[in-house]
Amino acid sequence: MAPRLQLEKAAWRWVETVKPEEISWEHIELAYRINLPACKRGACRRNCKGNPNCLVGIGEQAWLGEIDENAFHNIDDPNSERRDKNTFVGLTNLGATCYVNTFLQVWFHNLELRRSLYQCHNSRAQEHNSESDYEPQSICEHLQYLFALLQNSNRKYIDPSGLVKALGLDTGQQQDAQEFSKLFLSLLEDTLSKQKNPNLQNVIQRQFCGQFSYVTVCNQCGRSSALPSRFYELELNIQGHKNLTECVTEFLKEEKLDGDNRYFCESCQSKQNATRRIRLHSLPPTLNLQLMRFVFDRQTGHKKKLNTFISFPEQLDMGPFLEGKSDQRCVYELSAVLIHRGISAYSGHYIAHVKDARTSDWYKFNDEEIEKMEGKKLQLGIEEDIAETVKSQTRKPKCGKGYHCSRNAYMLVYKVQEEESSDPSRASVEVPAFLQRLVDQDNHKFEEWCCEMADMRKQSVDKGKAKHEEVKELYELLPAKDGEPYEFISLDWLKKWLDDATATKEIDNSLFLCSHGKLHPDNVGESKRVSLQAAKLLYERYGGGPRLDSSSLCRECVGQRCRVLRLKNQLNEDYKEVSNLVKRTPSGEGYWVGKASLRSWRQLALEQLEEDEHKTKHSNGETNGQGPHSNSSKEFSSELSEGNEEEMKTFNEDIVCSHGGLSIMDTERKLVSTEVWTKLRAYFAKAPEFTQSQEPCQQCLTLEQEEKDNEAVSKMMALDQKNQLLNLFHEKNRPTLTKWPQGTDVLYVVPLFFVDEWRKFIRRPTKSSPVSNVGNSLLLCPHGGFMFTYDSLVNGDAQHIALLWPSEWEVISRLFIVDHSISIHLSQQTTPTGPTTQYTTQPDLCWECREGFLFQQQRDLREYTQATIYIRKVIEDKRMIKEAAPELNASSSEAEEDKEEQPKVDGEKDPDFGQRHRPKPPSSQVSSRHRSKPPLWAYQRNISEAGCPPEDPSEAFTPTPLITKC
């Protein structure tokens, strides 16, 4: 048993021997657990909710140990975002912009490009007022400001969102890094070409642009033609190659042009076999080599990454690959390596290894994080270990001295080797004054932010220290000593007071009050007993209430609980005794008890005791069944209950009539002895009591007799009407209009509705109401004329009427109230062509209303206000059905199941409804059915929602799945 339940049971163990009227103050203190020993620190791991004296594990641990200033605030140290001395500045990753950050770092370390950008004219920055924030607009302005911040900012990393937004990039979608490099250099070249300074107009060409030509030689005549071209980077195929030299060699190798790919020779004036190759003429100071790691896979239709190891040197001699211009410098030094982490071309992470042009140290740029490599050598081992995710990867080959090997490098940047110069200005770039002023402004804002954060941290720490001293002082005063005054305070409030390092709300004990305005015994576990001195200090500082001292222990609630618990303990014995006593015949005066109540009295008693146990709680307190004692009560209830046959709310309510008296249903009650009733009365003090001499309710007896008399009259009436109209009831010998009966020249008309209701009454006279009148006005128009002709009745309108013989009409006129008489007459007339038969109605037909009725019918056939539309797809080639057979069969079977489940409607009586052999419908078909009410003068129409399912699977509509690309 849980400790809380053990304490609960121990607190009320005394009720077994103490009656409610014998309760003393000692018993009250036991119920409120006043004298339970307090738990000691270390012995109680978590707070004992059932013990009001346990003040351990409520959050005091954080305040009694060593003071940790970091626990008093959640503000990071602003100096952690300060740039360390002699380090570079990082760039924030905006979501999927790591590929942009790597290129920006590479271009920033290109001193010639940075120096040229600083020289660009920027009137906006030069005339900027320091009182407002500087907002660049053009790409050149953004790069100027960004590079100046990367060079002299005090921040550890800066936000490039201004440039990214100006470029129109989606920060949540990773773009093709190699394509971005090409487009951005082209954009930058176009921007710089508009500068007035001629030295700036061709910066991109001077720094990154080289020249080559496509040379084609005709095999027939030997004619050679060259097509000159410029390049900003060389795209090298790496598939099937192991080192960079092989990749460059393949790029420059000779290609044969034959077959469909033959070359049109100007000399031969015809297509001839030829050879073509690329001839390098000049190389730029910065040589960008794109390793084509991301290639198109024809089988999947997507790009894939080649995880091939490629070896590349720190020094690259391009002399063997150049043709002409022997005086050109051809030895290059590796200055940057761009890495892609990941095995997929559509995901992963980009970082850059860049060599510092001033110190020749290597740095790894990973967005905000920048790491300096040990020594002065490039180290790629860590990056290659991260990519070891595919089992089929080949082992890393051994690299010789001066070489590096990578399966993740996708771009190599080489810079031409320059002669050592004594000019220090070539290895350094100064930020112009107008840009440095903007950087200083941003640094000033950063320093202000650091000071503000430091002040906030200090204020939080000061408040925390003050709270620490307060809590430490008050916690030592909390325990209440035996024999000294005490008060109860909410456990939840104490926990929040110890948990919250700042302000605490006022104390609220209102949820713990009983209906007498005192502390409810059930809520002792949710409160704690503290010393009077500690309570005074807490209320002085935080306020609240109501205050609950020793006078708040409720004697009434304890007495009520004592009575309930004693009855619960006695319930099992009383149930057995009552079960034995009710089997005996009572001697002397007895009491009436409902049989249903008697079957379920034990369950009702438990529910009543539960209600009595919790009814003393305050309206704002816990609801019935949620107190700490309710769990055990529910267990006890479920253990004793045997299945309640009828849901009872109050004991004996099943023999109380609607007038509050004893029910006349003597079969539903049982007579019990006075001894049984006394025991039941102890549990149900408010139950209705009926002695053996109690008379049943006189009003119920009177109503019962009247009901019996009415039923007898109805039976006699039904029997009499049935005998007089026997053929009408059995639908025998009925007249028809299609074959006029002989022996009469008149038939009478009544609504079919009247005949149906009359038959219901005849069949069940005690359950149905008798029919008193014939409503023939339903068949007449407002002018009193008949709405149907003889021909219309023969052709279908007769389904709403019933025809009567004259003798039957005479009986009906006598038995029922008839508002109008309607009849059809047969008359024979002699004409020059011979005798003819005419049929007339009485009253006569109203042609005006009849024409309006027919017009409305025709209009309804043309116009729809509600209809079900079926669209069927026609498949001309039946062979296509076989390919989609599973889907079509499934949809067809589902349609049939749906059809079976739908209720039948009036439209199914239509001979065309459900017709299986119909002409094949067009590509789209509207199917609808009309269902009309009985044809009254105020005609209304409805469109039936029933429809015809497709009879052929080929006519069913099968949706085409959409193929989406993520």
Choice among 73, 128, 281, 349 that is catalytic: 349
Q: Which residues pair with 519 in a beta bridge?
A: 513, 553
Cα-based distances in Å from 655 to 14, 337, 644, 668, 697: 39, 95, 17, 7, 11
Q: In whole angstroms, give the CA distance from residue 94 to residue 96.
A: 6
DSSP string for 344-358: -TTS-EEEEEEE-TT
Both tokens of 224, joined, read: 């050679």
Both tokens of 197, joined, read: 């300074």
Q: Using only C-alpha atoms, what is the Rg of the chain?
A: 51
Buried b (16+ CB within 10 A) or exposed e, 716-738: eebeebbebbeebbeeeeebebe
Q: The tokens 């080599």 sit on which residue?
A: 289
Q: Are 236 and 251 in contact (CB under 8 A)?
A: yes
Q: In whole angstroms, give the CA distance from residue 324 to residue 280.
A: 9
Q: Residue 441, Cβ neighbours under 10 Å: how many?
A: 16
Residues contacting 900, CB < 8 A, separation 6+: none
Q: In whole angstroms, give the CA distance from residue 567 to residue 16.
A: 10
Q: In whole angstroms, give the CA distance from residue 120 to residue 137.
A: 14
Is position 349 annotated as part of the catalytic site? yes
AA identity, residue 210 = G
Residues contacting 637, CB < 8 A, separation 6+: 603, 606, 607, 610
Closest CA to 818 of 778, 785, 787, 772: 772
Q: In whole angstroms, give the CA distance from residue 350 to residue 99.
A: 5
Q: The tokens 């303990």 sit on which residue?
A: 569
Helix axes 532-542, 433-477, angle to 10 degrees: 150
Say which DSSP state 243 is in.
B
Q: Are 155 and 80 in contact (CB under 8 A)?
A: no
Q: Rounded to 5 degrees, what angle do the CA atoms 401, 403, 404 make?
A: 125
Cα–chain-centroid distance for residue 831?
A: 85
Is position 27 annotated as part of the catalytic site? no
Closest CA to 529 of 567, 499, 484: 484
Closest CA to 784 of 824, 838, 842: 842
Tell the burial category of 424 from Cβ atoms under 10 Å away from its Cβ (0-12, 13-18, 19+). Answer: exposed
Q: The tokens 């080639």 sit on which residue?
A: 877
Torsion of CA 145, 146, 151, 155, to 10 degrees: 110
Q: Rounded to 5 degrees, what angle do the CA atoms 427, 428, 432 make?
A: 150
The torsion angles phi and psi of 700, rounded to 5 degrees, stand at -65, -35
Q: In whole angstroms, give the CA distance from residue 523 to residue 620.
A: 12
User: Mind telling me the catalytic residues?
Assistant: 98, 349
